[in-house]
Amino acid sequence: MTELKNFFSVGDYIIDFEKIYQISSQKDQKDLSGKNLSYFFYKPIEITSQNETTYSTPIDNIFKSGLRPLINSDVIKKLYKEAAEKIDPETILDYKSIKETLYQNDPGKSLTILKQLFLEKEKAPDAFSRTNKEILEEILSHISNEIAFVTKKPIEKIREKLTSLIQKAIK
């Protein structure tokens, strides 16, 4: 636990499979069983008037809950490189594990799924389901938002770059 307390601190940004958050505080509280635990409290960075929710997670469970620190510039370079790598046109998308993989919140694995979805869309645009379009958009938005936040570049530019790299890779 001490390691995690030192790994994250108040003010740090963390991300799950949906949003970017900022750690707003750390407190010790009793859980339902009466055990004293340290918690991180965090808020989404895009707070709307309708959603000013503060979330909490025991520090010991922060990684188990799917939260992780934001990617850094080295990981961003690696993601761009992976986006540009050719994909085997015979690759089969494993639809059963997509959501499970996305919940793992691993940008490299999410990018692999994104590339496979782009490939499926390219192969048969008329047969590409609405669900697949939504998943493609969700992954593209998630990766683009994180890169844009870290690099302080416009989200649209990041989306265009990722899309361009992937489209070249699948042709």
May I ask the CATH class of domain 71-170? mainly alpha
State pLDDT tens for residues 26-43: 999 888 888 899 999 999
> pLDDT (tens digit, 9 = 90+) per residue, 64-96?
888 999 999 999 999 999 999 998 888 777 878
**Tokens at 101, concatenated:** 């993989």
Do 71-170 and 2-68 fall under one CATH topology?
Answer: no
Average pLDDT of the residues of the chain? 90
Residue that the structure tokens 């782009």 belong to: 118
pTM above 0.85?
yes
Domain spanning 2-68 has what CATH number? 2.40.10.170
**Would you list the DSSP string of 1-40?**
-HHHHHHS-TT-EEE-SS-EEEEEEEEEEE-TTS-EEEEE
- The domain limits of the chain are 2-68, 71-170
